[in-house]
Chain A
Amino acid sequence: MLNYHSIETFGAHEGPGLRLVIFLQGCQFKCLYCHNPDTIECKKNKEISGDEIIKRLENGREYYFPKGGITFSGGEPTLQSSEILSVFKKAKKLGFNTCLDSNGAILNESTKKLLEYTDLVLLDVKHIDNKKHKILTGASNKQTLKTAEYLEKNNIKMWLRYVLVPEFSDDINDVKKWCEHFRNYKNIEKAEILPYHALGEHKYEELSWEYKLKNIKPPTPEKISEVEKIFQKYFKKVVVR
């Protein structure tokens, strides 16, 4: 059984094509800008079996095959790697494309096993500077970067994601360093820039949590364009979401 938050049957932003997206409950990071803060707490939420998920996937075959597939997100899905494994195994057997949307901060035997059945990883590398990464997420970026290396060495395709937050992750030198770090990677299919937005703010009120980015406004179109141009020098495909 998987501990999940919600299901999106029409996922157009979590990998290629249209996808069945399962948002799992629980995350070991606590990003200041998280727009789904109700997925962070590692508490018991709703339960769903792997069979139910496969049934939904199969029911959507006309939509999810062949261009789309299934994605596990959250929260942080690698907290439930062993539960996801059987789902991915079955999904692959049925011919579907599998995708994992992760912060990359866990890479144990369970995760490695899961990655054997993962076609694509959406890797959120929140910041290249470890100190700034800790401010932004509450955790170090060391394992994430090691995970990126592991994916590259094992020829697992990646889409890198970067959330552009004014004052926290929009320093141009940091952006350049982030891109440089991945300069020689062959397995990065796409780099996505996610401009910060505050549409999840009301959820913090519902949780009675303090919203620490109250005074931060979304990045300007000029800043987004500037970052996009830098990205385009390093990555063959760059998308601004």
Chain B
Amino acid sequence: MKPSPTGPMLIRRRLLQGSAALALARALPSLAAPELPDIPLLTQLLAGRTPRWERLRLELPALADNGLAVPMKLTMPGPFAPGPTVQAIHLFSEKNPVPDMAVFEFPVPVEKIEIDSRVRLAGSQKVVAVAVMSDAALYAAAAEVVVTLAACLDGS
């Protein structure tokens, strides 16, 4: 009997099966302790450390309307001060030609970490976020996004 797929393979199969439902689905929640995609800049940032896959939340739609502008939300619940505060949040792309998408920097600590922006994704892939704390601790979150081509080519 063929073993049922697990982990990322199961996710991928479910995404393909449920693409119509996905159009209505809200963001896929951050994957818990997933297999990290091979992104050299990410590996460099981690420098051998293991991030904690909790607290930091990365939200992206499971199925993007268009890869050129995909809404992205980063949140991390506090409290922070007087303990370690967020210094920077790095965003990495698995498949884009430029894997380091953005770094959000907080030179002065803030209590509410919530960032919205729009990213470009060159095809279906994983996106990884890493929060670097003032005590050098790392928190990570990842999301997988399906990006399709437009139904009709547009040469206008």
Q: Do A and B bind each other?
A: no
